[in-house]
Amino acid sequence: MATTIKDIARIAGVSPSTVSRILSNKKTLSSGYAPETISKINQIAKDLNYRKNRSAIELVTKTSQVLGIILPASPTNFAQEIIAGIQKVASLHDIDVIIAYAGEDSELLQMQALKTISERSVRGILLLGITLSATNAQFLRASDIPYIFLSVAQPEPDLPFIASNDFDIGYQATNYLIMHGHREIAFVGADIPSCVGQLRLDGYRQALKDHQIAYRADYVIPGNWLYEDGIQAMNMLEKLPHLTAVVAGSDLVAAGVINRARQLHHHIPSDLSIIGIDGTALCDIIYPQLTSIQQSFYEMGVKGTEQLIRQANITSSYTPICTKKGGSVATRNKQNE
Amino acid sequence: MATTIKDIARIAGVSPSTVSRILSNKKTLSSGYAPETISKINQIAKDLNYRKNRSAIELVTKTSQVLGIILPASPTNFAQEIIAGIQKVASLHDIDVIIAYAGEDSELLQMQALKTISERSVRGILLLGITLSATNAQFLRASDIPYIFLSVAQPEPDLPFIASNDFDIGYQATNYLIMHGHREIAFVGADIPSCVGQLRLDGYRQALKDHQIAYRADYVIPGNWLYEDGIQAMNMLEKLPHLTAVVAGSDLVAAGVINRARQLHHHIPSDLSIIGIDGTALCDIIYPQLTSIQQSFYEMGVKGTEQLIRQANITSSYTPICTKKGGSVATRNKQNE
DNA sequence: TTGTAAGCGTTATCAG
DNA sequence: CTGATAACGCTTACAA
């Protein structure tokens, strides 16, 4: 049987209210108590190994110091960075974090995760790297808990998000290669049906168009942002002799392309230039080091958490992207073509 | 104002207990209700957008379907794998997961995380990759919540754990290199003061001893399991001309050693052989692919979670390790020495 | 098959 | 400055 406030009150010879006030340490109230009483209560609490009962507190106060995070079942390698940002801000405000995992594609698992989080009186919900089905989005709206999506821009205006501008990412990645003299550029490993994939592809196409480069459907090889997708993509790229550069959907995809290219005796970057997307720690670890469009993941976590904690009205915004230079892109002499 | 069971009861014209019984879906009880009543209640609940109040439920039932996880502030790259294992088992049992972050070295932050978790009526606590201070360990024992440490073996017998045998890891890594003809072997990047680091070093020394190889203190370069430690270590290894092989404390350290070695124009593995520890996905991604002593992280998560859920008495155990072969170790001709 | 009532541990309101 | 007392939303004997 766990120790309660009543136990302490009985032993100390005071009322439960007194104990509650002292233990919950409200500045305005406990300041009035005799230091003697205060230390006595604290001592007994320690002796009896007293622990607050959060359920009781949350029930009566109807508030909590908890933030809910919903993650895709297989968190991407940058989820870590976003969570670090969340964690940083949360701990600054003495706020705890609950995590629930949602299957990306299973509507049922999504709902499960939403319920898990929304049934606990959380102060806000952060949805990382997922897109909800219409039904589930409706459920979320109806919960009257503040929420914000991170890293995936949402089309509906009442689903606020903090993310990179994926069109810009696609555009800049492609443009970077064009600026280095490439005109035969593949776009591989992205999950095209997804919002993110679609926008990046749009950016890729626009960059081509702006430089009078014809779009070729066989230069687009879809995937799921995975290392294996890079491997697969490279197998197909082999058959495209004019190709000189690749936009990879993620750093992982880029790593797959690079490694498979090496196995096929193509030299990176002299035979084939590659630019990644994400700018994760992986860029420095693989060889050659990867040039990548870097996203501000940590900042997404920070900004999202601050908004939720501040309780102000939540607004969508984009975080900056920048080009992180590695050694995977070579300048191409235009005469070569 | 959120909908409660009473609201539903009032509208349906039944008592709150009826609603409670139907909504909580106890097989034994709700089976007795008229199907009509049941569907009516469910319909109203849906219409009114009813959500259970977990605080109230946990307060009255004094149990919960939640598992607490405590993570080091900067989770290692394999934490993901362990969590995946935890998540897998937990979701199978309809159990939620709460995560709190503890600063590895700060006793205060550790305590903070312990409080966070133990104040919520969790069913059990999983401690990932951390070692508690004596005071904090005592706090944990006193909480009367079942707990288990994952991935770090604990010296005290009343702190159950599931981990790899770190002595064996150190021994096998070293032995693998010896079996490939190496006798001048460095041991780098490990956090020597830690339990894990100490045990692996012991294994390393024992392997040397078993093959009549003298231990050399200048062959041991401590670190913190990080990529940067590998870089640093390689800078120092440069000055040791007889060296032919390296045991890296982690895959990340190995990646650092390899990349720095390349910059210094040493060829891997012909000039220098390297074996990593952990066997993470990174092994396949870096070049050359890394030979590594692989740990069973996923299994640690699975086994730990099952133990906690089963509520049986928790016992320590070791998960298996195996050698994952890459291309970073070369066989050395013994005559060369 | 359903209803009544007590109580989980805490805080908040209001007296004293 | 301190103490009753009532709530918070739910479950669960016990009654009917």
pLDDT digits (tens, 9 = 90+) for A150-159: 999 998 999 9
Q: Verify that B153 and B115 share a domain, yes or no.
A: yes
- Residue A182 above 70 pLDDT? yes
Residues of chain B with pLDDT under 70: 26-31, 104-105, 334-337
By C-alpha to C1' distance, D6 is nearest to: A60
What pLDDT is recorded for position A159?
Answer: 95
- In sequence order, the 6+-apart residues with CB closer than 8 A to the CB of A304 are A85, A86, A126, A148, A150, A162
Per this entry, what is the length of chain B?
337
- Give the number of other CB atoms < 10 A from CB of residue A111: 17
Residue A80 sits in the same domain as residue A171: no
CA distance A68 to chain B (A): 9
CATH of residue B25's domain is 1.10.260.40
Residues paired with residue A124 on neighbouring β-strands, in sequence order: A67
* pLDDT at site B274: 98
CA distance A207 to A29: 64
Across chain A, the runs of DSSP E, i.e. the strands, are: 66-72, 96-102, 124-128, 147-150, 161-163, 185-188, 220-221, 245-248, 273-278, 291-295, 317-318, 321-324
Encode pLDDT of A97-129 as tens digits: 888 888 766 888 889 889 889 988 899 999 999
Q: Which two tokens stand for residue A109?
A: 């698992």
Tell whether A144 is within 8 A of chain B (Cβ). Answer: yes
Question: How many Å apart are CA A218 and CA B30, to the nearest integer?
Answer: 59
Taking the C-alpha atoms of residue A206 and residue B226, their distance in angstroms, rounded to an integer, is 41
Q: What is the pLDDT of residues A284-333, one digit of tens each?
A: 999 999 999 999 999 999 999 999 998 778 999 999 999 999 999 999 87
- CA–CA separation, B26 and B209 (whole Å): 63
Q: Kindly state whether residue A229 falls inside one of the protein's structural domains.
A: yes
CB atoms within 10 A of CB A105: 12
Flag whether B78 is in a domain: yes
Residue B7 (CA) to nucleotide C2 (C1'), in angstroms, measures 17
CB atoms within 10 A of CB B312: 10
- Verify that A106 and A172 share a domain, yes or no: no
> CB distance A259–B49 less than 8 Å?
no
CA distances from A178 to A122, A274, B284 (A): 48, 12, 31
Residue B174: per-residue pLDDT = 98
Would the Cβ of A5 be found within 7 angstroms of any atom in strand C? yes
How many CB atoms are closer than 10 A to CB A274?
Answer: 29
As a whole number of Å, the end-to-end CA separation of chain A is 80
Of B234, B267, B227, the C-alpha closest to B250 is B227
Does residue B334 lie within any of the structural domains?
Answer: no
The predicted model gives A192-209 an average pLDDT of: 97
Could B285 and A282 be called an inter-chain contact, meaning their C-beta atoms sit closer than 8 Å? yes
Residue keyed to tokens 């959907």: A249
User: CA angle, corner A281, sides to A280 and A282, nearest 5?
Assistant: 90
Length of chain A: 337
**Which residue range(s) make up the domain with B40?**
5-52
The C1' atom of D11 and the CA atom of B101 lie apart, in whole Å, by 33
- Backbone dihedral region of B240: left (phi > 0), alpha (psi from -120 to 50 degrees) or beta? beta
A158 and A202 share a domain?
Answer: no
Distance CA B272, CA A155 (A): 53
pLDDT for res B29: 53
Token digits of residue B195: 């339990």
> Is B57 domain-assigned?
no
d(CA A271, CA A321): 27
- pLDDT tens digits, residue range A239-276? 999 999 999 999 999 999 999 999 999 999 999 999 99
Same domain? For B280 and B303 the reply is no
pLDDT at A26: 64
CA gap B272, B216 in Å, rounded: 18
Which two three-digit tokens encode residue B48?
């009114």
| A320 preceded by a cis bond (ω within 30 of 0) | no
Residue B257 Cα, gap to closest chain A Cα (Å)? 11
What distance in Å separates the CA atoms of residue A177 and residue A325, rounded to the nearest whole number? 12
The residue to which tokens 């995760």 are assigned? A113
A99 touches chain B (CB under 8 A): yes
- Number of compact structural domains in chain B: 3
Residues B272 and B287 in one domain: yes
Residues 68-87 of B with CB under 8 A from A: 73-75, 80, 84, 87
- Answer yes or no: are the C-beta atoms of A293 and A175 closer than 8 Å: no
**Hey, is the C-beta of B270 within 8 angstroms of any chain A C-beta?**
no
- Domain of A189, CATH number, reads 3.40.50.2300
Do B289 and B225 have their domain in common?
Answer: yes
Answer whether B104 touches A (CB < 8 Å). no
Q: What is the mean pLDDT of residues A33-46?
A: 86
Share of residues in chain A with pLDDT > 90 (%)? 72
Helix (DSSP H) and strand (DSSP E) numbers for chain B: 14, 12
Say if residue A123 is in the same domain as residue A239. Answer: no
Give A189's contacts (C-beta < 8 A, 6+ positions apart).
A221, A222, A223, A224, A225, A226, A229, A230, A233, A248, A249, A250, A252, A253, A254, A256, A257
| Chain D: bases < 7 Å from a protein Cβ | 1-5, 7-13
Residues A190 and A279 in one domain: yes
Place of tokens 């705890």: A96
Query: What's the pLDDT band for A27 if we cut at 50, 70, 90?
Result: low
- Identify whether A326 is part of a domain: no
Mean predicted confidence (pLDDT) in A143-169: 95
Instruction: Supply the Cα-derived Rg of chain A in whole angstroms.
Output: 26
Q: Do both A189 and A246 map to the same domain? A: yes
Instruction: Give the one of A96, A118, A284 whose C-beta lies nearest to B51's C-beta.
Output: A118
pLDDT at A59 over 60: yes
Q: How far apart are CA A284 and CA B254, in angstroms?
A: 14
d(CA A308, CA A148): 8
B58 within a domain of the structure (yes/no) = no
At residue A86, the pLDDT reads: 94
- Nearest residue to B297 via CA among B141, B169, B172: B169
CA distance readout (Å), A100 to A62, A132, A211, B73, B90: 21, 14, 45, 19, 11
pTM assigned to the model = 0.90
**Same domain assignment for residues B290 and B307:** no
Looking at the domain assignment, is residue B328 inside a domain?
Answer: no
Å from B126 (CA) to C8 (C1')? 27
> Cβ of residue B21 near strand D, that is under 7 Å?
yes
Alpha helices in B67-165 (DSSP H): 79-92, 107-119, 134-142
Q: Find the residue closest to D9 using CA and C1' atoms.
A: B56
Confidence of residue A335 (pLDDT cuts 50, 70, 90): very low
- From B91, B101, B286, residue closest to A286, measured CB to CB: B286
- Tokens 């990306």 — which residue? A104
What SS3 class is residue A57? helix
| The two three-digit tokens of residue A31, written as one number | 């300041």
Our measurement of CA B98 to C1' C9, in angstroms, reads 22
Asked whether A38 and A8 are in contact (CB, 8 A), the reply is no
Look at residue A38 and tell me if it is in a domain: yes
- Determine contact, residues A184/A149, Cβ cutoff 8 Å: no
Instruction: Please indicate, yes or no, whether residues A123 and A157 belong to a single structural domain of this protein.
Output: yes
| B70: alpha, beta or left? (left if phi > 0; alpha if psi -120 to 50) | beta
Q: Considering only CA atoms, which of A49, A323, A41 is closest in space to residue A171?
A: A323
CA distances from A13 to A5, A20, A178 (A): 12, 14, 80
**Chain B 14-33 residues in 7 Å CB range of strand C:** 14-18, 21, 29, 32-33
If residue B58 lies in a helix (H) or strand (E), which one and from where to where?
helix B54-61
Average confidence score pLDDT of chain A: 92
C-alpha distances (whole Å) from A299 to each of A43, A164, B73 are 42, 11, 17
Question: B23 at the A interface (CB within 8 A)?
Answer: no
